[in-house]
Amino acid sequence: MTRAQRRVRTQVAVVGAGPAGLVLANVLLRAGVGVAVVERRSRAEVERRARAGLVEHRIVEYLRAHGLADRLLAEGTRHGWCDFLCSGRLLRFDYGAQSGGVRHWVYPQQLLVRDLIADLHEAGHTPEFSLPATRVHVDGAGPARVECAGLDIDCDYVVGCDGPHGVTPQALPPEAAPHDGLPGTGPAPPGGLDERYPYDWLTLLAEVDRGVPGVVYAVHEDGFAGVMPRTSRIARLYLEIPAGDATARWTAPRVHERLRTRLVGAGAAVPRLGRILETGVLRMRSSVRRRFQHGRLFLAGDAAHVLTPSGAKGMNLAVADAADLADALIRRYRYGDEAHLDGYTSRRLPEVLRTRDLAAGFLDLLHPQGRHPADRRAELALRLERMRELAEPGAAGAAFAHWYVGAGPELPVPHTSAPREPTP
């Protein structure tokens, strides 16, 4: 039998083996719900795809409650402060203290992905790698279906965890799409869900002589620079660049020179930087779909919303979506509760929009605009004041600290017993 002839039946088909899809699949399987995961990349590729690193407190608590955080807890490190550097003035923001002792975990996304795949493998449900979904069918009578190059999956529900350019977002009707506010296509409407910023971020992975002790957000007349911890030998760095600039223009000497300029005054907060291992450009935009569901299709993570990396929320929101959806699907199979499942968008969209708005406010703090040097200097002085307000104990700092570290709200509690089929 050829691959093209394979056909399987399951309860939930998950497209995409990123954090959203892998957490969802693990939690559903632990509750006895049938799941099949397809992933277009090879296992080796997804396990070395370095992206996020800051994991919120509530996300780690959720993973821990489901027995999915053993290696993260053993090998991750904890971070509860960051430095603001404004034109050479260093201010420490102790968000751990301001949030009542809550801290981030630093654990590279690709390691979390590796662990979650190993958990699925142990449960006998290794995702189908190197198998792109090509189409999803969720309309009409009969089971929903995911079509792949070598496999058709009939299922009750499809969950699209395949990122913004995957196949599942295309199955949503046009009215669920975000407004395309990219340059050349007109401005986003007031209250629109798509935003393009007038700058981009160069993103780099670089060798360091020791681990970065905490995140550094540097705001300088020359532009923004960010330094994020990853491992004891590698750091992630960001540099503001003009919107649309090409990676090729950012040679290693130019990158080092700009980092030196923008990080002046950082002192011990930034280790000595070595070889640059990876360079890319993040087009700075956020995009939130108006709906995360269409019939028996649900979108989670970047497939539903893409935020800028300011605030480090993308992966955390992806896991929070997966947690909500896992809970709703388990209720559906255990109690026949379809209403809760249908409420998915209305539960998740407000949190996503709130996060988008707070991340946008944070981005504004890091990007003083102004064409003329005098305007930029005035903007910088205002930014320094706002950073002081956050860094000093008080209501503003405490509110930001709670959001930044992910102190709450808690994600749905684990379901451990096996579900039963819904009563008709």
Per-position x/- string for 102-131, each x denoting binding to ligand RFL as judged by CB under 6 A, each - no binding: -------x----------------------
CB nearer to ligand RFL: pick between 229 and 419: 229
Please state the closest distance from residue 183 (CB atom) to ligand RFL, in A: 19
Q: Which of 101, 323, 312 is nearest to 215 (CA)?
A: 312
Which residues touch 185 (CB under 8 Å, ≥6 apart)?
none
Per-position x/- string for 199-218, each x denoting binding to ligand RFL as judged by CB under 6 A, each - no binding: ----x---------------
CB nearer to ligand RFL: pick between 131 and 380: 131
Q: Which stretch, 77-85, 251-259, 301-309, 331-339, contacts ligand RFL (CB under 6 A)? A: 301-309
Site for ligand RFL (CB under 6 A): which residue of 35, 72, 117, 167?
167
CB nearer to ligand RFL: pick between 313 and 376: 313
Q: Which stretch, 40-48, 70-78, 248-256, 339-347, contacts ligand RFL (CB under 6 A)? A: 40-48
CB 16 within 8 A of CB 32: no
Q: Does 46 bind ligand RFL (CB under 6 A)?
A: yes
CB 133 within 8 A of CB 147: yes
- CA dihedral in degrees (365, 371, 372, 376; nearest 10)? 0
From the centroid of its chain, how far is CA 210?
26
Q: Which stretch, 45-53, 324-332, 377-385, 412-420, contacts ligand RFL (CB under 6 A)? A: 45-53
Site for ligand RFL (CB under 6 A): which residue of 12, 20, 237, 259?
20
Cis-peptide into 213, omega within 30 deg? no
CB nearer to ligand RFL: pick between 217 and 380: 217
CB nearer to ligand RFL: pick between 87 and 293: 293
Please state the closest distance from residue 87 (CB atom) to ligand RFL, in A: 25
Site for ligand RFL (CB under 6 A): which residue of 83, 302, 324, 327?
302
CB nearer to ligand RFL: pick between 237 and 380: 237
Q: Give the type of residue at 68.
A: L
Q: Which of 216, 276, 207 is nearest to 235 (CA)?
A: 207
Q: Does 132 bind ligand RFL (CB under 6 A)?
A: yes
CB nearer to ligand RFL: pick between 318 and 380: 318
CB nearer to ligand RFL: pick between 163 and 223: 163
Q: Does 40 bind ligand RFL (CB under 6 A)?
A: yes
Residues 306-325 that bind ligand RFL (CB under 6 A): 309, 312-316, 318
Query: Which two three-digit tokens encode residue 58?
Result: 């509530």
Number of residues in contact with ligand RFL under rule CB under 6 A: 35
Site for ligand RFL (CB under 6 A): which residue of 13, 14, 15, 151?
15
Q: Which of 358, 371, 356 is nearest to 198 (CA)?
A: 371
Query: Which two three-digit tokens encode residue 324?
Result: 């909500």
Contacts with ligand RFL, residue ranges (CB under 6 A): 15-21, 38-41, 46, 51-54, 109, 132-133, 161-163, 166-167, 203, 282, 301-302, 309, 312-316, 318
